[in-house]
């Protein structure tokens, strides 16, 4: 299909399961901290009316603009916030709204959207040649190309090993270092062909550049730091009885979510959600391969709904 003029699409992953766990009701306030194209948010918003409000946050201004169109079509009260989800407290404070006990529900659907991946100019994908950018917010300073140009080779190896769980990290980092001495690596095709020459496909299903691209994206966007910081503050944001749902797509994210949720449950700040760990159904994976690696985790803020503890 020619996608040039097509509206960007992103099929919301595990939508039914997410809605069941979040259980949005009229009059409630919920935060979608990874609004994307508003697929989950549109369904949540339609369940919060009358009287409720959806706050939709994303670090990508292009996503916010596209999501707004979708949410306008739903009707109901919503507010958009631009920034990273670990800063929701500060962003609300700028609007003179307190984030303490602000939400009955909070969703984080981590990673990148199909729109970000599909648009070559965003530089996330080795499948579409484009500038090696990878910033979810193009207003932020450091693109993948500028990071790769100046990071010490040991740092590049560490990032690829840690965030890509790539066994060939050292070899790839040294090849990047040799390559950048000849000429700066500025496109996704340059980076992926450099890796492909080094680590041949040999019939493997996944492209040899997959893990390296994932690793550089995580580093450039400080994805795990943002997630850790946000998870640490969750108990402050949630009302008693408030539901938190996180969808993660690789083991590093999921491990972090699992550990923080387990610790908060042990401390008595949250209780386990009865449907607190789920994977997508086979049917969903077949119709939306992007959902393949998804894991849903959910917890509930301790305390009686309607009380202040």
Ligand X SMILES: C[S@@+](CC[C@H](N)C(=O)[O-])C[C@H]1O[C@@H](n2cnc3c(N)ncnc32)[C@H](O)[C@@H]1O
Residues at the interface with ligand X (CB under 6 A) = 10, 12, 34, 36-40, 57-60, 63, 84-85, 109, 111-113, 136, 226
Least distance (Å) from ligand X to the CB of residue 136?
Answer: 4
Closer residue to ligand X (CB): 22 or 173: 22
Least distance (Å) from ligand X to the CB of residue 200?
Answer: 31
Closer residue to ligand X (CB): 19 or 160: 19
> Which is nearest to 294 in space by CA: 14, 43, 11, 12?
14
Closer residue to ligand X (CB): 185 or 219: 219
Least distance (Å) from ligand X to the CB of residue 304?
Answer: 30
Closer residue to ligand X (CB): 12 or 179: 12
Least distance (Å) from ligand X to the CB of residue 266?
Answer: 26
**Is residue 3 within 8 Å of residue 230, measured between CB atoms?**
no
Closer residue to ligand X (CB): 37 or 231: 37
Sheet holding 295-301, edge to edge: 77-82, 53-58, 29-32, 103-109, 238-248, 295-301, 270-278
Least distance (Å) from ligand X to the CB of residue 95?
Answer: 17
């Amino acid at each position: 299909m020619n996608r040039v003029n097509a509206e960007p699409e992103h099929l919301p992953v595990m939508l039914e399961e997410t809605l069941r766990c979040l259980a949005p009701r009229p009059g409630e306030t919920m935060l979608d901290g990874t609004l994307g194209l508003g697929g989950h948010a549109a369904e949540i918003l339609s369940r919060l009316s009358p009287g409720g409000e959806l706050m939709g946050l994303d670090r990508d201004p292009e996503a916010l603009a596209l999501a707004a169109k979708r949410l306008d079509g739903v009707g109901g009260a919503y507010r958009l916030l631009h920034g990273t989800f670990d800063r929701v407290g500060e962003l609300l404070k700028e609007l003179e709204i307190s984030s303490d006990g602000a939400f009955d529900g909070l969703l984080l659907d981590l990673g990148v959207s199909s729109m970000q991946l599909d648009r070559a100019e965003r530089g996330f994908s080795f499948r579409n040649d484009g500038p090696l950018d990878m910033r979810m917010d193009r207003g932020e300073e450091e693109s993948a190309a500028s990071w790769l140009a100046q990071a010490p080779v040991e740092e590049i190896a560490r990032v690829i090993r840690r965030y890509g769980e790539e066994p060939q990290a050292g070899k790839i980092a040294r090849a990047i270092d040799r390559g950048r001495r000849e000429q700066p690596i500025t496109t996704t095709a340059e980076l992926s062909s450099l890796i492909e020459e080094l680590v041949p496909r040999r019939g493997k299903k996944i492209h040899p550049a997959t893990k390296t691209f994932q690793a550089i994206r995580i580093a450039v966007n400080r994805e795990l730091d943002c997630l850790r910081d946000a998870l640490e503050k969750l108990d402050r944001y949630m009302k008693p009885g408030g539901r938190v749902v996180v969808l993660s797509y690789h083991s590093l994210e999921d491990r972090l979510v699992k550990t923080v949720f387990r610790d908060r449950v042990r401390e008595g700040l949250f209780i386990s959600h009865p449907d607190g760990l789920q994977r997508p159904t086979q049917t969903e994976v077949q119709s939306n391969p992007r959902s393949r690696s998804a894991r849903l985790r959910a917890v509930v803020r301790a305390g009686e709904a309607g009380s202040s503890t």
